[in-house]
Amino acid sequence: MPVTRQLIINGEHVPAASGRVADDISPWSGETYAQVAAAGAEDVARAVDAAEAAFPQWAAMAPSDRAKIFSRAADLTEQRTPEAIELMAGEVGGVSSWAGFNAHLAAGMFRAAAAATTATQGQILATDMPGKLSFGVRRPYGVCAAISPWNAPLILGTRAVAIPLAVGNTVVLKPSEDAPIACGLFIADILMEAGLPAGVLNVVTNDRTDGPGVVEALISDERVHNVNFTGSTKVGRTIGTLAAQHLKPAVLELGGKNSLVVLEDADLEYAVNAATFGAFMNAGQICMSVDRVVVDRRIADEFSQAFAKKVADLPAGDPAKPETVIGPQVNQAAADRQWSQIQDAIEKGARVLAGGGKPDGRVVPATVLADITPDMRIHAEEIFGAATTIYTAADADDAVTIANDTQYGLTAGVITENLREGLQVAQRLRTGIVHVNDQPVNDEPMAPFGGIQNSGYGKFGGEAGIHSFTEIRWVTVQQEGHAPYPF
């Protein structure tokens, strides 16, 4: 029997005003995992009403009291990890190792949010005005709109709300239609159990066909003052345009065409392990996943053979089995899109080193392709799935050129035993994030996370995240004498 869930508005579980519901389909079974309330514009307005009413008291709450709520939420997330693993397997086809990591990092994000409640709130500024004190004071925006994705639901759903709430904002969260529970309602459940006051976090779920209207109603509401979105570049353009039309700041964390550069002196076994993890964790459905492995030509053959063998042996299938590495894609359309990319590349001359076969339902065989050319779709398009490509570079300079041949700019990795050269290469890669001697799939609550170019703008995490969800106000005090005026 499917799980049934309602909207969360002002601390209460309520149906959509229309009474409609939406099906939440399991990627593995193809059956209805849950039915959730299908919100419309009137429900968005109710959620914003609640968030606006809750804002003054929440913003005025003592920081230590807010911190206790997030610390309790972190403990609850850890305690409910087995439930989270079961939820992610059923709702998004996430394998147990990925789901467990989601719960672990989400707990860390709640602890970082607890710390953020007591972060520095501003600075004393220099001034040429005699007798004056000049301050830059950080203040919460008020009501924030958050739109969270399905692929790392606990991590990215928590990230969408934790710091915005910690610095004193209230939030209306619209989770993905593919994971309304894991990246929305489950997180709100935990925060409410931890003691979050009514109305501070509100969750509106929706039917997929109503998504654009719900998003527009949320962002266009004049009481919403800040927007954050994690998802595809295509949708991010729409979100960013809508936010700009209403003169609202936005944080957009979008897609990537991420490279792992393997230099000549790399530890080959380590490079193979790094590339396999970076390309195929969560069946490649991570914005940071390795789309391109750029290997020095002098080790390319040896690397490619070892990499292909390791990838070919990855266990695939039922995400509920602990040994499974490659689970299903989130829906059939995603699996078909990847198969189309792979077919296009093969038809245009790509060499199959591993996989390459037709999807088994929603499970795309882990695939490695070589001899990629610019006329292939897979060269420029984000894969976001269980496939990756190998490029051969003449030297480090050529590797940088290949890695930078994209309009995306999220993250990258460089594998080398020569740290000086690795850092030099890293500094030339046009990405918002880069890791030397590691692959691109990395995240920490205290680190500034975000991309450049078509991978978006703004930052989550750490001090940068606090700045993204507060506005700075200039305040002066004429503490000695009076200010002079010319007339």
Q: What are the residue numbers of the active site?
A: 253, 287
Task: State the sign of the Cα–Cα–Cα–Cα dihedral 158, 160, 161, 166.
Answer: positive
Helix residue ranges per DSSP H, 381-437: 396-403, 419-428
Instruction: Report the first-to-last Cα separation within the chain, whole angstroms.
Output: 78
Report residue 143: phi and psi, to 5°.
-85, 130
User: Under a CB-based contact definition with an 8 Å cutoff, are residues 295 and 307 in contact?
Assistant: no
Cα–Cα distance, 239 to 249 (Å, whole number): 11
Helix residue ranges per DSSP H, 117-177: 153-166
Angle at 402 between CA 401 and CA 407, to 5 degrees: 90
Q: Which of 203, 207, 208 shows the shortest CA–CA distance to 184?
A: 203
And the tokens for 58?
């929440």
Cα–Cα distance, 205 to 192 (Å, whole number): 17
Report residue 206: phi and psi, to 5°.
-155, 160
Cα–Cα distance, 143 to 265 (Å, whole number): 51
Report residue 258: phi and psi, to 5°.
-85, 140
User: Under a CB-based contact definition with an 8 Å cutoff, are residues 303 and 272 in contact?
Assistant: yes
Burial of 163 (0-12, 13-18, 19+ CB in 10 A): buried
* Sheet containing 470-478, strands listed edge to edge, beginning at the edge strand earlier in sequence: 122-125, 132-140, 470-478
Q: Which of 197, 193, 191 shows the shortest CA–CA distance to 53?
A: 197
Task: State the sign of the Cα–Cα–Cα–Cα dihedral 226, 21, 13, 110.
Answer: negative
Cα–Cα distance, 272 to 366 (Å, whole number): 15
* Sheet containing 258-262, strands listed edge to edge, beginning at the edge strand earlier in sequence: 351-354, 367-370, 387-393, 290-296, 258-262, 412-415, 435-436
Cα–Cα distance, 39 to 21 (Å, whole number): 8
Cα–Cα distance, 469 to 450 (Å, whole number): 14
DSSP 364: P
